[in-house]
Structure 1
Amino acid sequence: MKVTSEHNERMAKLTFASVYPHYLTKVEKKGRTKEELHRVIEWLTDYDDKKIEALIKEKVTFEEFFRDAKLHPNAHLIKGVICGYRIEDIDNALTQQVRYLDKLVDELAKGRKMEKILREA
């Protein structure tokens, strides 16, 4: 599936605060915790709990969220299909970063081991 410029624009304007509750619900429904979700977000972005809460409160867009993030050097190892898109084939950096986060949350919800999710093993 090809990512369109309209799709990229929609991703940029989407607020992290509007998506975060869905991430949390998804992982908690599968027996994972908020702490684990935050660990995954921190691994990808270098944002700690306090910063994540502040970004939610500020209602930052994904564009702002990832502009200030310090992406993990192993983020490029996140591969596969999420929402019908092959992550490694997405040519828009921001859309790819949002899909990295989606994929990590998906892996957490599916019960994958944390060291695999965090690309440590």
Structure 2
Amino acid sequence: MTRALNAQWHNLAFSAFIFREILDNPMEDETPQSRLKQIGMMSILYIMHQGHQALTISNITETTKLTRTGVAETVDPLVKRGLLTETFVKNSMGRGKARQFEIAPEIFEKIRSFQPT
């Protein structure tokens, strides 16, 4: 029972943290629509993260049905905000480079610091 409550608390804390970070800190020339897209994208990425899926452009496009450009337009501001980290890995064919993302570890550290004991 306690474990289930901890998982629910963690999910709620993550959502609330992302919501506040994005809405309270608008970037220059950013529209409200862009901020809402970022909140939605972070929710999807968190679910993918919980499911141990690699956060690559290809996987995100497969999940969201957005174009690669559409994904990049939403993910790039998240990287700029420091909510995601970006690395370049070999693509699935092993020839080129692919962008891979990770939810910034600092987010989980901040959330943990607020967790009730």
TM-score (norm 1): 0.30
Structure with max Cα Rg: 2
Identify the structure with the greater strand proportion.
2
